[in-house]
Chain A
Amino acid sequence: MADFRLSDIDQQILDKVVEVGNSTTAHTRYYEDHEHEFPPARLEGERGFEEVFPLFGQRKPDDTPMMTFMMAVSIARGSTNGVVRGLGLAMPQGRASGLGNAALQSAGTAEQKAKWGNLFLAMSITEPGAGSDTKAISTTARLDGEEWVINGDKIFVTDGVRCDGAIVWATIDKSAGRAGIKSFLVLRDAPGFELVRKEKKLGIRASDTAAYSFRDCRIPRDHMLGDDETVPKGGGSAAYKGVMKTFNMTRPAVASGGVAKAKGALDFATAELAKEGVAVDWSKSFNQRSAVEQKLIEMEADTEAATLSVLHAAWLNDVRKPNNLESSICKAKGGEVCRTIPQAAMELLGGMSVSHDHLVEKYLRDGRISDIYEGTGQIQRLIIAREILGYSSEELT
């Protein structure tokens, strides 16, 4: 029956995650000053999360299901002072787990997976003129003998600087809409490929973000992911739908990153205001509270609601129930609180919250991306609205 209490071992794991995450903040600002450097494998004084791993062995099989619990871990971890947002993206678990690697695994042929499986691959979809509306991408691929010739510009390529190559979306038939879109592996040394620049960002500076250009960029014919060079009739594309489906898996995780920054800012504000003698008295009714108490309660309630929406979407996945709609719900909520809560925390803390003496301003900057990448809050609302209204993506745009 519905329950929201953690087992002792899970509580221990979360406590340990927070302890390790808070053990040093010495390097937390490293990437603010070293934005264009590759991160060292480990910074001095940094404790690794491998300390937590042995505890996982003590979990019982009938405890909180794994993905649900991992979302709780992700939120706890990301809320700590020492965890640098974006570092996980920059140094994924193992070299070959960039965002493009996921695409290779879901859409590549066995041969392609074997050949490129060890490369670190970025994902390159967004263009200067097309972001959320992916079917509007204008980068083209034209077959010329045994080579594809790619032309266009790509931006916002996560890991685009340090990757070995990228999975690039391009259309082989613009008139076919999304059905004409195919994925291509472009290696960094391909002729006609250029890394134009590395973007400077508001936050998540440990993660590099690149802009690419393709000028008659030539790649071998077998570098198209999968081996289907045809354009399906009627607009539907299995490959495109496959990519959209993987978003259901990743959205709760991305949402958890936003919730984590909300929680971090809230925890910081709660602790610091307590030092100043301002704390919530939970036994008081609404109209007996100070404005600051009420604001703290609203912040915590919003953060909790977002957390529960993430756990719910993950839990559905754990028990093998569809979670398309719920993934979008949690992404919308995670995107909401990553903005509102750090903003509110700074408001409550006042002027000194902007100082680099403290991390709360960084929570605002690092959290903000969560309502943008992997589908903006508006895209999530489009998905939710289409689902509840029974409209197709053509009917409700």
Chain B
Amino acid sequence: MITFELSEEQTMIRDSLQAFAAEVLAPGARAIDEAGEMPEGVIKQGWDFGLIAASIPEEYGGGGGERSCITNAVALEALGGGCASQAVAIMAPGQFVNALIDFGTEEQKAEHLPRYAGSAPVADAVAIQESQFGFAAEAQRTTATRKGNGWVLNGEKRLIPLGDRAGHFLVLAREDGGDGLPAVGAFIVPRDAAGLTVSAESGSQGLKPVPQAKIALNAVELPGSARLGGDTGIDAARLVSQARIGAAAVAVGLCRQATDFAIPYAKERVAFGEPIGKKQSIAFMLADMHIECETMRWMVWKAASLLEHNDPGALKASVLAQDYVRRKAIKVADDALQIFGGHGFIRDLPLEMWLRNARTLTVLDGPVSV
């Protein structure tokens, strides 16, 4: 049945997160980006909503709520509408938790999920991105080779959100003998694993204040139990799709925020005797921005909905939504900057930050998931 209706609970989550985004995240965004550091306080405040714990089954100490990709998409858009960087800093560990809930064995869930039961922030990270240009999730250079009952991992992972503090890395790697997404497995690597080197990242254009790290895996030996999903493994297409749609949902929030910021400016700014909003060249840009904020959201929701139900069409819907948001989000953020002209280029206003964040969110797989 086709419906665009959110449940009462989803509406409540959206409304309270939108208020949090407007009152807490947005006002601090510019200064946090400029400083390049994420205040611990804001992560704590975000965790007080209990978003990640809510969908962890009760037997592992969680809220026992539904593991809902739509709810996550709604939450990520709402937070992203305040500040994409802070949204990511709050929600990135959810990517680890989502993967555990979806693919983990009983033992893996019992080991890792209970530490997320409280409202104190916990950090584990999913490591997807690698250092080569043209990186593709289905063509991992990081390898996992069977050795006895265990695995040996070799490779390098980059731009890992909260990698500076993560207790565990869920490392995506190409399992031996395989090709493409079906051969991509995920391995839980403790921070203190022998052969694992964690180092600081070089800094990045967007999501600048999100703490990041890179890791090198040099013959990291892992027990068989480190493979997420045990003998069954994971559905890498689903995991990667959830990451892509997670980033897309944040991008939609960002676009809405940029559009809503540009509208009053266009009514205020006078050129040639009238507000620029009364000129079709600007008014039509704003109309298109509004149109795309709406359609991007439905694309994200559809993909999230199909992912949630593990529908056979989920991969395709995710590719379509990712592609759509990749093209449109960058355009919306870029046009918002253009409407402000030179003021958009100056770092006093958030326009240039939004453009950097929009570009970042639409080229990474992640760093959050639905």
Q: Which residues of A approach B to under 8 Å, CB–CB?
A: 1-7, 10, 62-65, 68-69, 72, 282-288, 297-298, 300-302, 304-306, 308-309, 311-312, 315-316, 319, 326, 329, 332-333, 378, 380-382, 384-386, 388-391, 395-396
Contact = CB atoms under 8 A, between A and B. Distances in A.
Of A69, A288, A304, A306, which is in contact with the most chain B CB atoms at under 10 Å from its CB? A304
B153 interface: no
Given A4-B302, A305-B299, A332-B291, A68 B283 contact: no
A68 B3 CA distance: 9
A74 to B, nearest CB: 14
A69 B2 contact: yes
A284 B136 contact: yes
4 closest pairs, A vs B, by CB? A285-B136, A385-B283, A308-B298, A384-B287
Nearest to A72: B2
A37 B135 CA distance: 59
B2 A1 contact: no
Contact of A2 (B3, B180, B311, B326): B3
Contacts, number: 161
Contacts of B365: 285
Contacts of A385: 277, 280, 283-284, 286-287
B288 A286 contact: no
B298 A312 contact: yes
B3 A329 contact: no
B136 A287 contact: yes
Given A2-B10, A332-B291, 11 more contacts: A4-B2, A4-B301, A285-B137, A288-B134, A304-B324, A305-B295, A305-B296, A309-B295, A309-B298, A385-B287, A389-B267
A253 B139 CA distance: 44
Instruction: Give the residue among B70, B134, B290, B305 with the most A Cβ atoms within 10 A.
Output: B290
Contacts of A285: 135-139, 365
Given A389-B263, A391-B278, A301 B299 contact: yes
A283 B138 contact: yes
Interface string B51-74: 000000000000000001010000
Contacts of A65: 3
B286 A283 contact: no
Interface residues of B, number: 54
Contacts of A3: 1-3, 305
Contacts of B322: 286
B266 interface: yes
Residues of A contacting B: mostly: helix
18 contacts: A1-B10, A2-B6, A4-B302, A5-B306, A65-B3, A282-B316, A283-B138, A284-B138, A288-B136, A304-B299, A308-B299, A311-B2, A381-B284, A382-B287, A389-B286, A391-B277, A396-B277, A396-B278
B327 interface: yes
Contacts of B277: 385, 389, 391, 396
Contacts of A396: 277-278, 280, 283
Nearest to B288: A381
A395 B278 contact: yes
A65 B3 CA distance: 8
Nearest to B244: A285
Contacts of B171: none
Contacts of A306: 295
A4 B294 CA distance: 16
Contacts of B327: 298, 301
A14 B321 CA distance: 23
B43 to A, nearest CB: 28
Contacts of A301: 299, 320-321, 323-324, 327
A308 B138 contact: no
Given A287-B136, A333-B295, A384 B290 contact: yes
B255 to A, nearest CB: 14
Contact of A282 (B1, B4, B319): B319
Contact of A1 (B6, B286, B290): B6
Question: A72, A286, A306, A396: which has the most chain B beta carbons within 10 Å?
Answer: A286
Nearest to B325: A301
Contacts of B266: 389
B237 to A, nearest CB: 6
Contact of B305 (A4, A304, A381): A4
A316 to B, nearest CB: 8
Contacts of B10: 1-2
B319 to A, nearest CB: 5
A230 to B, nearest CB: 33
Nearest to B74: A2
A312 B293 CA distance: 13
B7 interface: yes
A257 to B, nearest CB: 18
Contacts of A7: 1
B44 interface: no
Q: Quick one: which of B181, B291, B319 has the most chain A CB within 10 A?
A: B291
A315 B1 contact: no
Contacts of B135: 285, 287
